[in-house]
Structure 1
Amino acid sequence: MSYPVIHTETGAVSGTRVEGIERYLGIPYAAPPVGARRFALPEPVAPWDGVREATAFGPTSPQSPYPGEIGKLLPSTIIPGDDILTVNVWRPGEADGAAVMLWFHGGALERGTAAISTYDGTPFARDGIVFVSANYRLGAEGFSVLPDAPRNIGLADAAAALRWTSRNIARFGGDPSRITIFGESAGGAVVAALLAREDLRPLLAGAIIESGPLDAATTERAARPARDIARRLGTTATAEALRRVPPQRLVAVRDELTASSTLLRAAPGYNATIDPATLPENPRRALVDAERPVMIGTNTDEYRLWYPPEALAKLSRRTYALLALAKRLPRGVWRAYRAAFPAASPGEIIGQVLTDLTVRQPAIALARARTAQTFVYEFSWPSPVRDLRAAHALEIGFVFDALGDEGAVTMAGTGAPQELAARMHADWIRFAETGDPGWPAFRGDSLVRRYDAVTQDVTLPRAEALAALTR
């Protein structure tokens, strides 16, 4: 092992080099968001003298592990400390003008970190990519709507990480004109929000959105989590008041509020909201005219991550009726989904409807509306673990070509097809390098790449069910 040194704009960092791959971890792209910098936009890093060691991941945004059954499937890596706003870079040792991929992790905007082992960038660097991952503020610290604080602070962090990448990546052998951002779930929502901003679009070559919501919430909805936390604490929902509360106490109160959530009575989640400075337009609308290639897709059975078989068994046709009333679903949706999934239980139909409402229908609607190159995929390989099937987040281990990673094994088991991982990983790289992942761009109800034990390009699956949702 050797310890190479790169000179960034704020100082030198030393990483590690193993088998031709260099890794630089925990490089600050903004000042630690502590004290008066809590509930404030990211501020520049103070330059440092000498060489800063970059061999360990930076601290994670304040959070708690996933609770209950989901905690057995999704790993939680929590690293204490204040220097939250950091990036990590993997590069081929001889990189020069390479394509760049910048990853934003998921976690419902309140959990997750770039330090999760599945997100190791080595497979991308091995295949010629300069890979970057970034932490950003989460939960109350990143997405509270408060009268005396900026909105979408976590998005502002992500934008700062993108700008840092654009300014510094040539020093790591990357081409700043070839930056593709990608992310899954909440990370996909972050990607959509960054691409929605006209001021950031010149920094981007393309974007990949994996199972990411595309809509910003109303201000009223986005304000609920912070308001509920403040009420539970007996204080006011202002930055001035919440700065007096330790970050981990805010996390603990949030956990108390969400502990009793149900399908029909869920505690409001954290969301981005429209804001002139950090998100001027709803991403679903702004991305229609974004002249950058986009790859977007979902997993067939997203809902099965959150609802284990025993929970699905408790849902009935009456539960659907209540859901249809709450979501104002058109008539005929139940019939259309019953036709699309003839062997499904009522709970499974409810899950599929929720999957499509949340991520699949918006993704297809966006693909239909865009004139720029848009490529649609569906991940359908069924995991044998806990009858997850093609659940939310299952594709990540395949995209990262990391099926041997402990986190990937937890969801996919030990017999997941390596050839599928190799294909998906190669398609993601091909998109970053060329803007074309290797299948036809989407037009109307045209071809979608379906990743399964046998990968093939198919006409949009379950088009009739999707159409029923929008009648």
Structure 2
Amino acid sequence: MIVDRRAALTGLAGLAATPAWGGGRADPVATTVMGRVRGLRERGVLVFRGIRYGADTAPYRFRRAVAPAAWQGIANATRHGPAAPQTKSEEPTSEDCLFLNVWTPALDQGRRPVMVYLHGGAHAHGSGSDPLYDGGSLVRRGDVVVVTLNHRLAGLGYAYLAALGGPAESGNVGNLDIALALHWVRDNIGRFGGDPARVMLFGQSGGGAKVVTLMAMAEARPLFHAAATMSGQHVTAAGPIHATQRARAWMRQAGAADVAALATMPVARLVAAMAMTDPLEGKGEISFTSTLDHHVLTRHPFFPDAPREAGHIPLIVGNTHDETGYWLGDVLRRGDTGWGNLPVRLAAQMTKDLDPAYVIARYRTLYPDRTAGQVLLAASTAGRSWPGHLIQAEERARIDAPTWMYQLDFPAPEAGGVLGAFHTLDIPLVFDNTAVAGARTGDGPDARRLAGRMADAFIALARTGDPNCAGVPAWPQYRLDRRTTMLFDRTVRTQDDPRRAERMLFAVAPYVKPGG
């Protein structure tokens, strides 16, 4: 749902300041460097939704965003701002989308750790307003400040147009938006009870990929002090040649003769063109992602190694045991995977280029009691989603950077547990939000107990730069000689080199990002 600029400027989420508001006298008012904002009290937490951190991006399409103008009076910060323009959105969207949300215990000078979350959805979908990202539970549990945010996505945030006559930064303006939000945090979070010198950046899936990309960006690195990537398996960004091919295909699909036409075209037309099939992968929507542009991003996040410039930043690298259960849900529920059709189904899922028949034979030897469907889930995860996480942890270990690895083993209860611990399942656990609608963990005692322990570890990283705390067993840093990993399940424990045989099976083939 795309809203026009006039509606966005006058009707949504405190975009215009107002001298008065109809809330109760107890509603909190905070002062930012641009002006005052009024929030709400919710279950003992002060909540500010839809605080503007950047100006409308429409006049700066494909270019670096700018800070907002100061305002008079008190701006309403009681509703989420619009999400970035995107396909399949279920919430209002607008190019005027640079808004963030803050949860805090108090507007004092408490100097609390700050946890800034980047939403998932590849680089194309989502926003910071998903109920699963509500920071209230973390605030109540750990006396921290939580921030979520929106930024430009898909073609508007990551189309690389430099080789076509467009702005040099166009392939990374979504990341520059995040950096702008982090500048806002640095300059304002002390007025919300947070400590600008203790900012932790964490994100899941595409959000986790952006976390590690920002660690490779000289402009962003000084703005945060700890990090966690949850199923954000990016090792490389898009190369400029492939990124240009995608941008050219998108431009052609939209009917734009050049970048100047693309920059002035109605945004709805651009969004419709984003739904085209990716020209390099031949499936899905066109894939825009962070770009190695030799300008904003001058190196890949983890190739040829981990950036030594970010070696001082403590990092959690996390993955789920059964990542691909998220995408294979319908197949696994049907239960119609047999040994006959397994090779074709597995080949469609693996990123690592190994003979599916060979992989299946090895899995049947390793796990003789598993069904074909269970082998599909395990081998597709090990051959698609897991390798990137391993590379991140391994490369960090090689430069002796403080790194901790976890694996979520707790299975989702739906469909009798056949989906396993799939991609996204750690979100409600880390946010301690298992009771929120959409939390597929269930809200039973085991899920609630596990959520508390995962939340405590993330809070500890934000507070001290180390996830070790009373809520988890001793968690050693990841080293290549042991590969110690925290297994989050009904019983939380560490294990050295979990799934070693599967890791070694796929280690014979390189990891290459599809369409990169």
Per the normalisation by structure 1, the TM-score is 0.89
Give 2:243's aligned residue. 222
Give 2:493's aligned residue. 456
| Alignment counterpart, residue 478 of structure 2, candidates 442, 446, 459 | 442
Aligned equivalents of 1:223, 1:357: Cα separation in 2: 28
Counterpart of 2:226, as a letter, is G
Give 2:79's aligned residue. 56
The C-alpha deviation readout for 1:54-90, integer Å capped at 9, x for no partner, is: 111111001233xxxxxxxxxx651244430111111
Q: Does residue 373 in structure 1 map to residue 391 in structure 2?
A: no
Report the CA distance shift for 1:44/1:452 in structure 2 as closer, same or farther (over 3 A): same
Report the CA distance shift for 1:230/1:261 in structure 2 as closer, same or farther (over 3 A): closer
Aligned equivalents of 2:424, 2:199: Cα separation in 1: 23
Return 145-154 or 448-457, whichever deviates more.
145-154
Alignment of 1:176-187 (within 5 A): 176-187=196-207
Aligned equivalents of 2:125, 2:487: Cα separation in 1: 29
The C-alpha deviation readout for 1:79-109, integer Å capped at 9, x for no partner, is: 2444301111111126511011111001011
Give 1:33's aligned residue. 57
Aligned equivalents of 1:164, 1:466: Cα separation in 2: 41
Aligned equivalents of 1:255, 1:190: Cα separation in 2: 22
Give 2:322's aligned residue. 301
Q: Give SS of 1:49's match.
A: coil
Aligned equivalents of 1:464, 1:347: Cα separation in 2: 16
Alignment of 1:355-394 (within 5 A): 355-356=384-385, 359-386=388-415, 387-394=418-425
Q: Give the CA deviation at 1:340.
A: 5.0
Q: Give the CA deviation at 1:317.
A: 1.8
Report the CA distance shift for 1:63/1:341 in structure 2 as closer, same or farther (over 3 A): farther
| Alignment counterpart, residue 107 of structure 1, candidates 109, 118, 121 | 121
Report the CA distance shift for 1:432/1:336 in structure 2 as closer, same or farther (over 3 A): farther
Cα pair 2:324 2:385 within 8 Å, conserved: no
The C-alpha deviation readout for 1:106-128, integer Å capped at 9, x for no partner, is: 10111100011111111122120
Q: Give SS of 1:412's match.
A: coil
Return 308-317 or 385-394, whichever deviates more.
308-317
| Alignment counterpart, residue 282 of structure 1, candidates 286, 300, 304 | 300
Return 367-376 or 436-445, whichever deviates more.
367-376
Give 1:69's aligned residue. none
Q: Give SS of 1:454's match.
A: coil
Q: Give SS of 2:113's match.
A: strand
Report the CA distance shift for 1:385/1:322 in structure 2 as closer, same or farther (over 3 A): closer
Return 152-161 or 436-445, whichever deviates more.
436-445
Q: Does residue 174 in structure 1 map to residue 206 in structure 2?
A: no
Report the CA distance shift for 1:201/1:102 in structure 2 as closer, same or farther (over 3 A): same
Q: Give the CA deviation at 1:223.
A: 3.4
Cα pair 1:77 1:115 within 8 Å, conserved: no
The C-alpha deviation readout for 1:248-269, integer Å capped at 9, x for no partner, is: 32222322436x999x855552
> Which segments of 5 or more consecutive residues in structure 1 lack a partner in the other structure?
66-75
Report the CA distance shift for 1:267/1:84 in structure 2 as closer, same or farther (over 3 A): closer
Q: Give SS of 2:302's match.
A: helix
Aligned equivalents of 1:166, 1:428: Cα separation in 2: 20
Counterpart of 2:453, as a letter, is R
Aligned length: 454
Cα pair 1:77 1:116 within 8 Å, conserved: no
Q: Give the CA deviation at 1:155.
A: 0.7
Return 172-181 or 284-293, whichever deviates more.
284-293
Counterpart of 2:459, as a letter, is I
Aligned equivalents of 1:316, 1:336: Cα separation in 2: 14
Report the CA distance shift for 1:198/1:339 in structure 2 as closer, same or farther (over 3 A): farther
Cα pair 1:300 1:391 within 8 Å, conserved: yes
Q: Give SS of 1:40's match.
A: coil
Aligned equivalents of 1:108, 1:340: Cα separation in 2: 33
Q: Give the CA deviation at 1:276.
A: 3.1
Q: Give SS of 1:31's match.
A: coil
Give 1:292's aligned residue. 313
Q: Give the CA deviation at 1:232.
A: 2.5
Give 2:6's aligned residue. none
| Alignment counterpart, residue 452 of structure 2, candidates 400, 413, 422 | 422
| Alignment counterpart, residue 343 of structure 2, candidates 294, 299, 317 | 317
Report the CA distance shift for 1:302/1:440 in structure 2 as closer, same or farther (over 3 A): same
Report the CA distance shift for 1:227/1:450 in structure 2 as closer, same or farther (over 3 A): same
Counterpart of 1:426, as a letter, is D
Aligned equivalents of 2:154, 2:275: Cα separation in 1: 11
Q: How big is the alpha-carbon RMSD for the aligned residues of Structure 1 and Structure 2?
A: 2.6
Cα pair 2:154 2:289 within 8 Å, conserved: no
Identity of aligned residues (%): 31
Give 1:68's aligned residue. none
The C-alpha deviation readout for 1:273-309, integer Å capped at 9, x for no partner, is: 1123321211114644221111111001111111224
Aligned equivalents of 2:78, 2:365: Cα separation in 1: 54
Give 1:202's aligned residue. 222
Return 286-295 or 203-212, whichever deviates more.
286-295
Return 304-313 or 154-163, whichever deviates more.
304-313
| Alignment counterpart, residue 145 of structure 1, candidates 160, 174, 189 | 160
Q: Give SS of 1:190's match.
A: helix
Report the CA distance shift for 1:101/1:449 in structure 2 as closer, same or farther (over 3 A): same
Q: Give SS of 2:116's match.
A: strand
Q: Give SS of 2:264's match.
A: coil
Give 1:72's aligned residue. none
Q: Give SS of 1:56's match.
A: coil
